[in-house]
């Protein structure tokens, strides 16, 4: 609350809201894409072997590279920024969803099979609930990566705090750039603590 009041006092409230909308929309889209793909990779080892090198490449490419395919298709603006942010931030949730499901104890999966559970019942009643803390860690990582693209996305027309930082760099206004950068840090702390709280609630009772 004090962080948000501080941003309001710095007259960065509108830019903060624009950044929050960009990050939230990109994260939500990345999760809609990434969680089902992660489930597919967890259940199909062949798909994991085929596509895991692609995930490795996506995580090692510099973030600037994702701006290149966005510009010809969508031009300058928030749509290109959102597209580049989604592509950049989706690999962690795919990896951690697959990892969480694969790390479910084999004894529990065998017990579900012994009781006659179908593949769908096993997934939704055993594997996903036990993998939820790991999946929430992927959500956290995806959100942080989306936020890290804020300044870079400002180079192709995204608004918000990233634009304020980019404009201050162009104008050599160190004070304004520091204020906008501090706003990004405050927003990152708020989002990080929120997702960590959700992950703690998702953790099974009795686990460390």
pLDDT band at 31 (very low <50, low <70, confident <90, very high): very high
The reported pLDDT for the residue numbered 37 is 92
Average pLDDT over residues 41-58: 86
DSSP conformation letters of the chain: -HHHHHHHHTT-HHHHHHHHHHHHHHHHHHHHHHHHHHHHHHH-HHHHHHHHHHHHHHHHS-GGGGHHHHHHHH-SSHHHHHHHHHHHHHHHHHHHHHHHHHTS-HHHHHHHHHTT--HHHHIIIIIHHHHHHHHHHHHHHHHHHHHHTHHHHGGGT--THHHHHHHHHHHT-HHHHHHHHHHHHHHHHHHHHHHHHHHHHHSPTT--
pTM for the predicted model, two decimal places: 0.81
Q: What is the pLDDT of residues 99-149, one digit of tens each?
A: 988 888 888 877 877 777 777 778 888 888 888 888 888 888 888 888 888
Q: Can you list the domains of the chain with their CATH numbers?
A: 2-202 (1.10.3720.10)
């Amino acid at each position: 609350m004090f962080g948000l009041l501080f941003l309001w006092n710095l007259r960065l409230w509108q830019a903060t809201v624009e950044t929050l909308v960009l990050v939230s929309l990109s994260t939500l889209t990345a999760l809609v894409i990434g969680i089902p793909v992660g489930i597919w990779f967890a259940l199909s080892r062949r798909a994991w072997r085929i596509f895991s090198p692609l995930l490795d490449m996506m995580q090692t490419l510099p973030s600037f590279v994702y701006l290149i395919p966005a510009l010809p298709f969508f031009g300058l603006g928030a749509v290109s920024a959102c597209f580049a942010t989604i592509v950049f931030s989706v690999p962690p949730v795919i990896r951690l969803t697959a990892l969480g499901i694969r790390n479910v104890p084999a004894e529990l999966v065998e017990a579900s099979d012994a009781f006659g559970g179908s593949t769908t019942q096993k997934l939704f009643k055993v594997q996903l609930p036990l993998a939820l803390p790991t999946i929430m860690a992927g959500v956290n990582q995806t959100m942080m990566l989306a936020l890290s693209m804020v300044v870079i996305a400002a180079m192709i027309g995204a608004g918000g705090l990233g634009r304020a930082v980019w404009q201050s760099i162009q104008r050599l206004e160190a004070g304004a750039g520091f204020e906008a950068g501090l706003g990004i840090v405050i927003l990152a702390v708020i989002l990080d603590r929120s997702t960590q709280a959700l992950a703690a609630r998702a953790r099974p009772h009795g686990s460390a």
